[in-house]
């Protein structure tokens, strides 16, 4: 069976679907690409004339949208119509951790995958290639295949059995560098059991990626590799964060330790930056998923091994909020704390699983008044993240603190007792400490959880500084 791919439909215009389709459109001008989503507001923003209103901020994305939108890249809510004409369909919907029912707290919630697969089964034409882009538990392709095959016969619109070819093509892009990662990936993974279907997808990627970088595996290896890559990366961060605490206790210098181990080529120097804990939509979710699968197969030791990576990450966040309380004389009641950075990392407006959420909630519970500044995260988003915690609502009226949203570093730092740097935004690297020292209350503290500040230990401005991984 030879596939001719002239029309692609991608279900899900999120952090993965949007940028991925933009880069494919940019490199394959001969293919018409329709990105569809149920969220009308999101699609409206993808179509906004004002490119600064795109729902996702990624370097390089605006220029591709400007070049391709309306030509071979289209965003719409017309799901059925676009599925009907597609030769290849990408599933890029969200797969968060289940919050209730069997596997709650660990397993991925596949209801959006199932819903989109049913939409495909109902509308797609014959011989369509269905590509799983979302990160999924191992063997989800089986479920997708079963739904597609069982529906294909029942469909009243089309009364013949259609063939579907399911591929797994996980996305390894990191937010903030999405376009760069898509344009020049370390590797592209295609899992599947139909050679021609795999080649059809390979042909698309070959337009801009060296064929040697395009790996072919079976479906299950592809699905598991994605989970494992994220678990390994998260494990590195938990490992280095565990050592920040040890450095603080012993007087070893975390940067020196990182440099020393990173020069060992077997270990490598990347992904060893100490911080307040990993966030983002993938790491926690994928490890929980891995734990769930291990438990399912009775591999208790394996699941508890990965569980520890998550526990260390939670511990890092609570140890930071506890030590802030400790340094500020054991109480935050009535004190003003300036939070610099709310995104889970720099160069993104995404706050999913951001360590800032847990740290801010703990400080609020201690009665602190927070003034929060982040160059990209909106007031609406912060309100959503902080008010989601019911324990805070329940405690309002007791001694719970309040928070405000600030438009600049200076308004956030004004009259503050402490500044906590939580995201490594460039503008927090070199701040006007002289000016800041004048507007803060004394004794003033800076807690640098990302090791980015240029504020020296014994600075001329009389500010006390605590840096992660530095102690005694």
Residue with smaller CB distance to ligand UDX, 32 or 281: 281
CB atoms closer than 10 angstroms to residue 427:
13
Please give the Cα distance from 323 to 418 (Å, whole number). Answer: 12
DSSP lists the bridge partners of residue 8 as 33, 88
Work out how close the CB of 57 gets to ligand ADP at its nearest, in angstroms, rounded to a whole number: 13
Work out how close the CB of 115 gets to ligand ADP at its nearest, in angstroms, rounded to a whole number: 4
Confirm if 385 and 391 have CB atoms less than 8 A apart: no
Of 9-17, 233-241, 357-365, 454-462: span binding ligand ADP (CB under 6 A): 9-17
Work out how close the CB of 31 gets to ligand ADP at its nearest, in angstroms, rounded to a whole number: 20
Residue with smaller CB distance to ligand UDX, 275 or 375: 275
Is residue 337 close enough to count as binding ligand UDX by CB under 6 A? Answer: no
Is residue 134 close enough to count as binding ligand ADP by CB under 6 A? Answer: yes
344 binds, among ligand ADP, ligand UDX, none (CB under 5 to 8 A by kind): ligand UDX
Residue with smaller CB distance to ligand ADP, 13 or 254: 13
Is residue 237 close enough to count as binding ligand UDX by CB under 6 A? Answer: yes
> Which residue in this structure is represented by tokens 């308004």?
411
Which residue is catalytic, options 68, 247, 282, 338? Answer: 282
Work out how close the CB of 3 gets to ligand UDX at its nearest, in angstroms, rounded to a whole number: 27
- Of 8, 9, 10, 11, which one interacts with ligand ADP (CB under 6 A)? 11
Active-site residue, 68 included: no
How far does the chain reach from its first CA to its final CA, in angstroms?
A: 68
Is residue 280 close enough to count as binding ligand UDX by CB under 6 A? Answer: yes
Is residue 344 close enough to count as binding ligand UDX by CB under 6 A? Answer: yes
Is residue 74 close enough to count as binding ligand ADP by CB under 6 A? Answer: no
What is the distance, to the nearest Å, from the Cα of residue 101 to the centroid of all Cα atoms in its chain?
A: 24
Report residue 370 as tokens. 């927070």
CB atoms closer than 10 angstroms to residue 291:
23
HSE of 334, CA atoms in CB hemisphere, 13 A: 1
The closest residue (CB) to ligand ADP is 14
Confirm if 128 and 159 have CB atoms less than 8 A apart: no
CB environment 402-414: b (16+ within 10 A), e (fewer): ebebbeebeebbb
- Of 38, 174, 323, 325, which one interacts with ligand ADP (CB under 6 A)? 38
Of 47-55, 66-74, 140-148, 166-174: span binding ligand UDX (CB under 6 A): 166-174
Q: Which residues contact 403 (CB under 8 A, 6 or more apart)?
A: 360, 364, 369, 370, 371, 372, 382, 386
Is residue 85 close enough to count as binding ligand ADP by CB under 6 A? Answer: no
Report residue 456 as tokens. 């020296």
Helix residue spans in 158-253 (DSSP H): 178-183, 195-205, 219-250
The three-state secondary structure class of 209 is coil
Residues assigned a catalytic role: 282
* Residue ranges in contact with ligand UDX by CB under 6 A: 171-175, 230, 233, 237, 271-273, 275, 278-280, 282-283, 344-345
Residues of this chain that interact with ligand ADP (CB under 6 A) are 11-17, 36-39, 42, 79, 92-94, 112, 115-116, 134, 281
């Amino acid at each position: 069976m030879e596939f001719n791919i002239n029309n692609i439909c991608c279900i899900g215009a999120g952090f993965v679907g949007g940028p991925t389709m933009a880069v494919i459109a940019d490199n394959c001008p001969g293919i018409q690409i329709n990105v569809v989503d149920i969220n009308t507001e999101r699609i409206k923003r993808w179509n906004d004339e004002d490119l600064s209103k795109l729902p996702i901020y990624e370097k390089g994305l605006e220029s591709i949208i400007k070049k391709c939108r309306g030509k071979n890249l289209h965003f719409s809510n017309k799901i059925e119509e676009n599925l009907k004409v597609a030769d290849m369909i990408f599933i890029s919907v969200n797969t968060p951790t289940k919050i209730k029912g069997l596997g709650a707290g660990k397993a991925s919630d596949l209801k959006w995958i199932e819903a989109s697969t049913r939409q495909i089964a109902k509308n797609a034409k014959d011989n369509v290639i269905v590509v799983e882009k979302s990160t999924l538990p191992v063997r989800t392709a089986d479920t997708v295949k079963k739904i597609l095959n069982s529906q294909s016969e029942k469909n009243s619109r089309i009364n013949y059995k259609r063939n579907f070819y399911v591929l797994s093509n996980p996305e390894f892009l990191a937010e903030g560098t999405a376009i760069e990662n898509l344009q020049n990936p370390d590797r592209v993974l295609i899992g599947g059991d139909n050679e021609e279907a795999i080649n059809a997808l390979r042909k698309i990627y070959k337009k801009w990626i060296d064929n040697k970088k395009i790996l072919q595996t079976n479906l299950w290896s592809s699905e598991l590799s994605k989970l494992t890559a994220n678990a390994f990366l998260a494990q590195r961060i938990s490992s280095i964060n565990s050592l920040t605490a040890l450095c603080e206790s012993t007087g070893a210098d975390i940067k020196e330790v990182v440099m020393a181990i990173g020069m060992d080529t077997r270990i490598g120097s990347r992904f060893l930056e100490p911080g307040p804990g990993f966030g983002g939509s993938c790491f926690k979710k994928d490890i929980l998923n891995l734990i769930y699968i291990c438990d399912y197969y009775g591999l208790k030791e394996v699941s508890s091994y990965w569980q520890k990576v998550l526990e260390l990450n939670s511990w890092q966040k609570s140890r930071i909020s506890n030590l802030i309380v400790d340094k500020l004389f054991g109480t935050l009641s009535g004190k003003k704390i300036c939070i610099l950075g709310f995104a889970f990392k720099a160069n993104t407006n995404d706050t999913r699983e951001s360590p800032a959420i847990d740290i801010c909630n703990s400080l609020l519970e201690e009665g602190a008044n927070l003034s929060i500044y982040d160059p990209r995260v909106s007031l609406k988003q912060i309100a959503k993240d902080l008010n989601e915690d019911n324990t805070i609502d329940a405690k309002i009226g007791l001694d719970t603190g309040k928070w405000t949203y600030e438009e600049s570093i200076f308004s956030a730092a004004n009259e503050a007792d402490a500044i906590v740097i939580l995201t490594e935004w460039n503008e927090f690297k070199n701040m006007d400490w002289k000016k800041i020292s004048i507007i803060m209350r004394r004794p003033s503290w800076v807690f640098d959880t990302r090791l980015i500040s240029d504020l020296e230990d014994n600075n001329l401005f009389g500010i006390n500084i605590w840096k992660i991984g530095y102690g005694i």
